Structure 1
Amino acid sequence: MRSPPHADPSHGPSAIDLPLKVGIARFANGLSPASLAQAQTDWWLHLLVSPARQSQLAASALHKWQAWLHYLARAAQGPCEGCVTPAPQDKRFARPEWQRFPYNALAQAFLLQQQWWDEATHGVRGVSRHHEEVTAFVARQWLDMLSPSNVPLLNPQVLQETLRTGGANLAKGAANWARDAMALGAGGRARGLQAFEPGKTLALTPGQVVMRNHLVELIQYEPATPTVWREPVLVVPSWIMKFYILDLTPQDSLVRHLVAQGHTVFMLSWRNPGSADADLGLDDYLQFGVLDALAAVRKRCPGAGVNAMGYCLGGTLLAMAAAWLGARGDATLRSVSLLAAQVDFQEPGELGLFIDESQIAFLEDIMAEHGYLDGQRMAGAFQLINSRDLVWSKLVHEYLMGARTPVTPLRAWNADATRLPARMHSEYLRRLYLQNDLADGRYRFHGEPVNLEAIRVPLYLLATERDHVSPWTSVYQLLRIARAPATFVLCAGGHNVGIVNPPDGPLASPEAAYRTGAWAPREAPAKPLLWFAHAQVHAGSWWPHWCQWLAQQSSRRVKARPVTGLRVRGHTIPAPGRYVSGAPQEPAP
């Protein structure tokens, strides 16, 4: 494996160190203990030499204790208003059982403690912002673990269910846990996932693989209308997720919706890398992924510009390609749409908790073992960010209440993890997240600078309000960098649910809504929160709005033609292709 671009070869991971560090990584779920210790030490030492802050926290603790005692006296006499209100997304104590004494008093004590720790981990003079955020994160993890909702004897819902079933819920919960532990311990998939397989129950939109190299398959979908828009749509998904998030079922497939609107749709499907791919870098993903795909699309649709769309990290890569092509005067792209994609990583959101020199070096050492980062470690990071919903709510629902969470197509897709080549992931974390080279104009491709100001084609930027991966305020920052006409859309939901948002049918959300704004080239955007306060709100899915925008970027409609697939060993490969299932690569013709 090549050494990361920042380091001298002598500073790479040592074979002597690897067994110890890999063992630590398994115990620590991929988190660097040194990084966590640095943050905790920074906070603790600065707090020790801040008597004024200690006094403030002591006074706050006393005030909260008195408030809880006052509430306890009132709650013992009957229902009353609490002294602290949970955050809107915190549903642990929302059920009626928690409003009865003494459980309401337990909930209030916990929420007050949670509030105090939030105060204690913030505002200590001298602590770096990153260390402050990490310390607060660690405190939240401990508090979420110790919540009374996780303790059977303190959770009124669990007690009530145990009395009602004579303990059968706990027996079912133990069986649920044993099945999950056995499946994961054996390296298999959790129960219920076997029913969801791309090409059989998921990713059913008809199409053919029309190009393939060692990194991607390019799928072209069959037209569904007699005429199609002349300009094709190329979709660049992230390689940390399988592409069929955009083609789950016929009821919630963005691909099928685009085809029904008369668009010729091409989709990149990234190959799941193995140890032999450890040396693949970020530039390889740009060249053999986006640029090769654009060349293949232009060859199949000669004379037409491409309306390209990138999702998440695929959007980051597409923005790099658009900037590089724009600087060269290349007219391949007609427009660029970026969904939940960051290009400025100065405010990366909660994923930034895991990005510092210690953590990246720790990951590099872990990846040196096999040449890639296993998808389960990436999934573990996302679970930690949202552990309240992804870990502890599951503990209560499945292991204490004895229920089973139904496996949905989205849940099955989320469990279909991918791997990340060691060099690419190291470059991505260092050059984009840690150093912010792309936004600051330092990133180079083929020796030439990638300047986002060179993007001149119309931009459609979409973000989601509750995104833990790509915070909408971070996505918004491209508006201040690019010098192109731009439309910004902020929709309700999270990183995945906000995107997979069909406008009609049984899976359409009645709560769907989005805000819109538009800027002329070089027009300075308002600050994010100011824009949010004045932006126009529309009810429904954002899909029709985007399709209308795409139609405006297209010239005319032409007669649709059936897709001619790439022949490999005498046979064509129907969508969703072979790379999506992790099948061994066959040589491209």
Structure 2
Amino acid sequence: MAQHADGGDSDMGDNLERLNANLAKMEELSKRMVAALGQKDLTADAGMSGPGQELYVKAGSALFNEMLTNPTKLMGHQVAYWSKAVENFIETQQALAAGQFEMPEDDDAPKDKRFANPMWRTHPYFRFVRKQYELNSQAIEQSMAELEGLDEKEKSRVEFFSRQIIDLFAPTNYLATNPDALQKAIDTDGQSLVDGLENLVRDIEANKGELLPTLSDPNAFKVGQNIGTAEGKVVFRNRMMEVIQYAPKTDTVYRTPLVIFPPWINKFYIMDLKPQNSLIRWIVEQGYTLFVVSWVNPDASYAEVGLEDYIEEGYLEAVRVAKEITGEKQVNAVGYCIAGTTLSATLALLQKRGDKSIKSATFFTTLTDFSDQGEFTVFLQDDFVDAIERQVTEKGILDSFFMSKTMSFLRSNDLVYGPAVRSYMMGEAPPAFDLLYWNGDSTNLPGRMVKQYLRQLCQGNELAGDGFKILGETVSIRDIKLPVCSVGTKTDHIAPWKNCYRGFSQFGSRDKTFIMSESGHIAGIINPPSKKKYGHFLNPKVKGTADEWLEGAEFHEGSWWPVWEEWLQRRSGAQVSAREPGESGYEILGDAPGTYVLATTKG
């Protein structure tokens, strides 16, 4: 007995010591958090954080008008809501009064991964909280869906921001109503909460007073060492870009070189994360001389850089370099996302100039007709764009943090609240996930370019409309005449495939091929044949609407890469001896992935 008592005293002493250490740690972390919150830029434009007051006034007026004109419908909704809420309360009260702490499985519960823990369906307290949240969510969604007196864009914005409120107040986001977090706190004697606070402070410090969860272990990857490792050399550099020529993997290559223009909203190594899913490696292995542009990560000195600079010092220079190095008169080009949009303007410009330097062009998830702005409609109205203009006029750039936050809140449960729960309440370290690491390695955008893109292309829809004025010409997607291929992705929320198709179908080219890949903006493109994961749809006729195209399309298992490569092969000429970087006389400036890609926006 004495021995048992001694053990108990020892355990209590250890627990007390651990508790005191954790309390000291929390006090230290709290001081750090206060200091980190003090770094927040209080001069930031409030208009970039939410819609203007006009939207709230219109929504409130519409709701008030509906109350006056159709009170019966409103009362019906209220009665139905309170009936279900009271029923939920009584059911829980009866279970607790009977000492019943495990209720029958709630089979009607929606399949929501946030509520995977069985306690959300069987424990009286958590079941009550979950069902009440679902009732509240349904009531809000129904009210917004039936709201009249708003135009389509206003209604979509009200629904979007209502969904943000619904997601924010999910019971999983709060310690007192999250059974997983509470259980882990008990199991770890509170250590998970200490670790969570440390993670929270780390993120606030990293984002200078702002809060956005870290999605991937920042120390797990290093560009050029375990991601972005395809063999190549930087063969050209100017203030806008580095051009990387990749080393050949075949004895002979197709005569016509390929130049890829990645988006400058993110970094190019999304196409070269790991060897097994590297599009860059795969293209080289198929026998192409490949050049990839790595864009500069701009600072405030780039404030006056516009789309004309990206075209003149980026696209046209990269094409010139590839032609000179290979001795060819033409190249094939690829543009991804915003780089595809700008490639379309470049092609139209070259057509106006009678310049045939580009033989064919491929577009990955590219929008050129912005008449339907998809999920970005909520951010492309004047209140937001006015605020962005004020910000870039003052700062010279659109800070990468704003873009990261905007993209994250389009999928808030997956990219904000879910990671926040795991990191701050469960105390988990962020995973070592290369795709999420890349997602967090974002870039700034030059002020002038941002204004042009938002005002002239997105809001003004000039490329698909009356024409976009650039470098002395007025250009349109209808000016494009060369062979073109476009790849849209089925579940893309950034560039919906139907919107990609709509603009692409207006190109003036007679030779048009459209491919629709399964999955989204990234996974649908970075879809290597070896994985045999996502299939694709093909229809040789690019005519009619997107729905009509899909109705006549045939589904094929596996990656679209080989289909596209066959298309590219027919436009790439005969085989010639492989070209090694540096042999043309161009000075080698360094190894791939170069220096521009390493520039960070944090620090």
Deviates most, 184-193 or 341-350: 184-193
What is the aligned counterpart of 1:280 among 305, 310, 315?
Answer: 305
Aligned amino acid, residue 477 of structure 1 = R
Give, in whole Å, the separation in 2 of the partners of 1:377 and 1:566. 42
Change (3 A) 1:305 1:579: same
Could you say which residue in structure 1 is the equivalent of 2:535?
A: 513
What is the aligned counterpart of 1:546 among 564, 577, 591?
Answer: 564
Correspondence 1:45 to 2:64: no
Could you say which residue in structure 2 is the equivalent of 1:448?
A: 473
Shift of 1:42: 1.0
Shift of 1:273: 1.4
Could you say which residue in structure 2 is the equivalent of 1:154?
A: 177
Q: Is the 8 A contact 1:476 1:528 kept in 2?
A: yes
Could you say which residue in structure 2 is the equivalent of 1:575?
A: 592
Residues 218-257 of structure 1 show CA distances to partners (whole Å, capped at 9, x for unaligned) of 1111111011111211101111111111112222211001
Could you say which residue in structure 1 is the equivalent of 2:136?
A: 113
Q: Is the 8 A contact 1:97 1:157 kept in 2?
A: no
Aligned amino acid, residue 535 of structure 1 = A
Could you say which residue in structure 1 is the equivalent of 2:484?
A: 459
Shift of 1:72: 7.3
Aligned amino acid, residue 131 of structure 2 = Q
Runs of at least 5 residues in structure 1 that lack an aligned partner in the other structure: 1-20, 585-589
What is the aligned counterpart of 1:197 among 209, 222, 236?
Answer: 222
What is the aligned counterpart of 1:379 among 404, 407, 410?
Answer: 404
Could you say which residue in structure 1 is the equivalent of 2:391?
A: 366
Q: Is the 8 A contact 2:539 2:552 kept in 1?
A: no
Give, in whole Å, the separation in 2 of the partners of 1:101 and 1:256. 52
Task: State the secondary structure of the residue aligned to 2:592.
Answer: coil
Bigger radius of gyration, 1 or 2? Answer: 2
Change (3 A) 1:428 1:556: same
Give, in whole Å, the separation in 2 of the partners of 1:243 and 1:394. 25
What is the aligned counterpart of 1:124 among 147, 152, 162?
Answer: 147
Correspondence 1:403 to 2:422: no
Could you say which residue in structure 2 is the equivalent of 1:11?
A: none
Could you say which residue in structure 2 is the equivalent of 1:555?
A: 573
Task: State the secondary structure of the residue aligned to 2:486.
Answer: strand
Aligned amino acid, residue 491 of structure 2 = R
Deviates most, 320-329 or 287-296: 320-329
For residues 140-219 of structure 1, what are the structure 2 equivalents within 5 Å? Answer: 140-185=163-208, 192-219=217-244
Give, in whole Å, the separation in 1 of the partners of 2:203 and 2:42. 22
C-alpha RMSD of matched pairs (Å): 2.9
Q: Is the 8 A contact 1:242 1:418 kept in 2?
A: yes
Residues 522-544 of structure 1 show CA distances to partners (whole Å, capped at 9, x for unaligned) of x523x334444553222222222
Q: Greater share of helix residues, 1 or 2?
A: 2
Q: Is the 8 A contact 2:106 2:122 kept in 1?
A: no
Aligned amino acid, residue 551 of structure 1 = Q
Deviates most, 93-102 or 130-139: 93-102
Could you say which residue in structure 2 is the equivalent of 1:17?
A: none
For residues 5-404 of structure 1, what are the structure 2 equivalents within 5 Å? Answer: 23=42, 25=44, 28=46, 31=48, 35-50=51-66, 51-52=68-69, 55-67=72-84, 78-82=104-108, 85=110, 90-102=112-124, 103-185=126-208, 192-404=217-429
Change (3 A) 1:435 1:245: same
Give, in whole Å, the separation in 1 of the partners of 2:133 and 2:188. 28
Normalised TM-score (structure 2): 0.84
Shift of 1:417: 1.7
Residues 341-396 of structure 1 show CA distances to partners (whole Å, capped at 9, x for unaligned) of 10011222222211122222211221223311111111111122222111110121
Q: Is the 8 A contact 1:461 1:487 kept in 2?
A: yes
Give, in whole Å, the separation in 2 of the partners of 1:181 and 1:425. 27
Residues 323-357 of structure 1 show CA distances to partners (whole Å, capped at 9, x for unaligned) of 22234443222221111110011222222211122
Shift of 1:432: 0.8
Change (3 A) 1:566 1:557: closer
Give, in whole Å, the separation in 2 of the partners of 1:80 and 1:534. 43
Give, in whole Å, the separation in 1 of the partners of 2:88 and 2:286. 58
What is the aligned counterpart of 1:496 among 522, 537, 541?
Answer: 522
Deviates most, 380-389 or 302-311: 302-311
Shift of 1:60: 3.1
Q: Is the 8 A contact 1:210 1:566 kept in 2?
A: no
Q: Is the 8 A contact 1:230 1:555 kept in 2?
A: yes
Q: Is the 8 A contact 2:527 2:533 kept in 1?
A: no
Shift of 1:583: 9.3
Could you say which residue in structure 2 is the equivalent of 1:528?
A: 546
Normalised TM-score (structure 1): 0.86
Q: Is the 8 A contact 1:32 1:362 kept in 2?
A: no
Residues 161-203 of structure 1 show CA distances to partners (whole Å, capped at 9, x for unaligned) of 3343343322322232233333434999968324422222221
Give, in whole Å, the separation in 2 of the partners of 1:456 and 1:433. 23
Task: State the secondary structure of the residue aligned to 2:593.
Answer: coil
Number of residue-to-residue matches in the alignment? 548
Give, in whole Å, the separation in 1 of the partners of 2:585 and 2:294. 17
Q: Is the 8 A contact 1:36 1:134 kept in 2?
A: no
Q: Is the 8 A contact 2:365 2:489 kept in 1?
A: yes
Aligned amino acid, residue 149 of structure 2 = G
Deviates most, 164-173 or 264-273: 164-173
Q: Is the 8 A contact 1:229 1:557 kept in 2?
A: yes
Identity of aligned residues (%): 32
Residues 499-543 of structure 1 show CA distances to partners (whole Å, capped at 9, x for unaligned) of 222222xxx3x6422222222xxx523x33444455322222222
Shift of 1:313: 0.4
Task: State the secondary structure of the residue aligned to 1:45.
Answer: helix
Task: State the secondary structure of the residue aligned to 1:477.
Answer: helix
Task: State the secondary structure of the residue aligned to 2:304.
Answer: coil
Give, in whole Å, the separation in 2 of the partners of 1:64 and 1:486. 53
Shift of 1:439: 1.1
Give, in whole Å, the separation in 1 of the partners of 2:550 and 2:131. 33
Aligned amino acid, residue 493 of structure 1 = S
Q: Is the 8 A contact 2:234 2:589 kept in 1?
A: yes
Residues 550-571 of structure 1 show CA distances to partners (whole Å, capped at 9, x for unaligned) of 2232222211121117999x86
Q: Is the 8 A contact 1:210 1:565 kept in 2?
A: no
Aligned amino acid, residue 47 of structure 1 = L
Task: State the secondary structure of the residue aligned to 1:139.
Answer: helix
Change (3 A) 1:338 1:23: same
Change (3 A) 1:488 1:73: farther
Give, in whole Å, the separation in 2 of the partners of 1:123 and 1:24. 38
Give, in whole Å, the separation in 2 of the partners of 1:54 and 1:336. 58
Aligned amino acid, residue 549 of structure 1 = W
Task: State the secondary structure of the residue aligned to 2:529.
Answer: coil
Give, in whole Å, the separation in 2 of the partners of 1:95 and 1:534. 43
Q: Is the 8 A contact 2:582 2:588 kept in 1?
A: no
Give, in whole Å, the separation in 1 of the partners of 2:551 and 2:90. 41
Change (3 A) 1:61 1:85: farther
Change (3 A) 1:163 1:535: farther
Task: State the secondary structure of the residue aligned to 2:356.
Answer: coil
